[in-house]
Chains A and B, each alone.
Chain A
Amino acid sequence: MNIFFRELRSNLKSLLIWSGIVFLFSVIGFSKFSAFYNNPELTAILDSMPPAVISALSMNAFNLTTVTGFFGIMILYFSLILAISAAMWGSDIISKEERDRTVEFSLTLPVTRNRVVNAKTAAAAVNCIILLLVMWGATVFGAQNFNPDNEFYAYVSIAMLAFLLLQMVFLALGIFLGCALKRYKLAGSAAIAVILVTYFTSILSGLNKDLDFLKYFTPFKYFDAATMLRDNRLEWPFVLLSAGIIIVLLIGAHIAYRRRDLYI
């Protein structure tokens, strides 16, 4: 538990910064929304936009003049923030020991490498969950001015569950990259590269029916904002797929880290 608590403390500053970003983003988002709220003109403008653009911004399924619809649009951006923070935390929490050359201390203590990876993964996961709770709070708080109904709360709850899975997928990815890459400097940028590629894949897959199969390759599409609004539940195949990816990445991380030379 000592590694776990030390990591939590050392990550506190980063967590506060990300929480600030999330909070600010919600505040700005909802203040923009006040212009759309119950505004029929907006619907007219959106109708005149090309369908591809609408689809790329994943606006097709939502009525932007209601707070529920607006949150549906926000999901995309929240996903990005959560994915980036999770992947960065994951890769950083492992690779920083080599970057700061502290491996010569922390891994010459009587600890197994598995224990180190587990404790660090747990600490990063707790960070992710706290950030998610901040986001939840900020969303509910920001929505208060716009008469949120039960549908809104239910939608937010199911979205948070989807966010959690998304975070864990990208956290596992970050941990894996931190553990597996010999050149620790690459871990962070590799994580961001994967996020960008999967993000643009998710946009591509929405553009055309023929590209629909791409949704299996991008976690951003596993829990589609529109589908969640319609069904108010997560799709099981994608829950299992996420869990599978998380497990495979974490096992891979352990194996890679156990076998690899640590560079100083």
Chain B
Amino acid sequence: MSIIEVNHLTKYYGKSRGIVDISFKVEEGEIFGFIGPNGAGKSTTIRLFLSLIYPTKGEAKIFGKDCIKFGPELRQEIGYLPSEVFYYEGMKVLDLLKYSASFFQKDCTKRMHELSDLMELDLKRRISDLSYGNKKKVGIVQGLLHQPKLIVLDEPTAGLDPLMQHKFFDLIREENKRGATVFFSSHILGEVQRLCNRVAIIKEGSIINIQDIKTLQKDNYKKVRVTADDLDEKRFKVKGVTDLEKENGSISFFYKGDINAITKLIGSRKISDLTIEDLTLEEIFMHYYE
């Protein structure tokens, strides 16, 4: 049974597009990346999971159950960290966390204090006095205190300093080892690369690719840079070469295809320098969004 199963999920806000005909599955124990620029439909998808909004068409199942019909029951086991956290301003952090914990069937007190210590949270302060980053930390504790089986993160690192980000990633990995499945939405590729096993790329409301992070990097393009005297870039206008550029006596391009073909082509000339490397996720990503 997949932890998340999305079938032809579509959401329109009136006439404007949210997401269109999205289908994918997230298996148990995965850290699944969901990546796309602002406005691509990441938050829409997540809000559909949490039945804050209702689909126009299609369905999403979590733990095998429809996430609208069984929403409240499913949310016992879902931890959600929104991109921007908003809490009741007048409440103290501890009261808010206790309030949140009171909705879950299990006793969350111990885990709540563990997480607060880890995140160095001052429980006595009022929500309204907290900085953006500190609110985010409250969000992390609040989202994880009930030890959920599914953790849904929507651009979770915004507002956290690098040290906290590091701690946060460790925490997520730990939760994942414990058995939690993680759905990680972000527009920052580096963090997805660090954390996720698989990634879905969403663009203008549709998913354009779902792949293993490793295959995404390996099986795809190579970045080639050749330096030599009086190079003629026209020689490299062959099948599989894109983004050909010439500057300062060196030529760079992306290449997809048989690696021997391209080395033969380069080897037929005297060159002074050559690099062939994998594309960073950033570059792959840019490619999808061109």
In angstroms, Cα B100 to Cα A109, docked, is 7
| A110 contacts B103, C-beta separation under 8 Å | yes
* B104 lies within 8 A of A261 (CB): no
Q: From residue A95, how far is it (CB to closest CB) to chain B in Å?
A: 15
Give bound CA distance, A100 to B90, whole Å: 12
Q: In chain A between 93 and 120, which residues have their CB closer than 8 angstroms to a CB of chain B?
A: 100-105, 107-112, 115
Inter-chain contact A2/B86, CB cutoff 8 Å? no
Q: Are A104 and B86 also in contact (CB < 8 A) when A2-B99, A110-B103, A110-B104 are? A: yes
A264 CB within 8 Å of chain B: yes
**List of B residues within 8 angstroms of A262 by Cβ:** 52-53
A104-B80, A112-B71 given; 8 more Cβ-contact pairs under 8 Å: A2-B103, A103-B52, A104-B86, A105-B85, A107-B50, A107-B52, A110-B75, A111-B75
Count of chain B residues with a beta carbon within 8 Å of a chain A beta carbon: 28
Kindly state the separation between the CA atoms of A65 and B54 in the bound complex, as whole angstroms: 61
For the complex, is A48 an interface residue (Cβ under 8 Å from B)?
Answer: no
A-B contact count, CB below 8 Å?
Answer: 59
Nearest A residue (CB) for B83:
A104
Q: Is the CB of B86 within 8 A of A110?
A: no
Q: Determine which of A10, A110, A112, A259 lies in contact with B88 in the assembled complex, contact meaning CB atoms within 8 Å.
A: A10
B52 near A108: Cβ-Cβ < 8 Å: yes
The 19 sampled A-B contact pairs (Cβ below 8 Å) are: A2-B102, A102-B86, A102-B88, A104-B82, A105-B87, A105-B100, A107-B52, A108-B75, A108-B80, A110-B72, A110-B73, A110-B76, A111-B103, A112-B72, A115-B72, A261-B52, A261-B53, A264-B47, A264-B52
Contacts of B80 in A (CB 8 A): 104, 108
CB-CB under 8 A from B85, the residues of chain A are: 104-105
Interface on B for A, CB 8 Å cutoff?
A: 13, 47, 50, 52-54, 71-76, 78, 80, 82, 84-90, 99-100, 102-104, 142
Q: CB-CB < 8 A to B52: which residues of A?
A: 103-104, 107-108, 261-262, 264
**The 9 residue pairs across chains A and B that have the minimum distance between CB atoms:** A261-B53, A110-B75, A101-B86, A109-B103, A110-B76, A2-B102, A108-B50, A112-B72, A262-B52
A99 to chain B, nearest CB (A): 10
**Chain A, interface residues (CB within 8 Å), range:** 20 to 34
Do A100 and B75 touch (CB < 8 A)?
Answer: no
Contact of A111 among B53, B72, B78, B87 (CB under 8 A): B72
A109 close to B88 (CB less than 8 A): no
Is A183 interfacial (CB 8 A cutoff)? no
Contacts of B104 in A (CB 8 A): 110
A192 to B80, CA, bound (A): 37
* A102 and B75 contact, CB distance less than 8 A: no
Separation in Å of the B11 CB from the closest CB of chain A? Answer: 9
A255 and B102 alpha carbons, distance in the complex (Å): 26
B54 near A6 with CB under 8 A, answer no
Q: CB-nearest residue of chain B relative to A104?
A: B82
> What's the nearest-Cβ distance from chain A to residue B144, in Å?
13
Residue of B nearest to A101 (CB): B86
Complex contacts, B53 vs chain A, CB 8 Å: 261-262
Task: Report the minimum CB–CB distance from A102 to chain B (whole Å).
Answer: 5
Contacts of A105 in B (CB 8 A): 82, 85-87, 100, 142
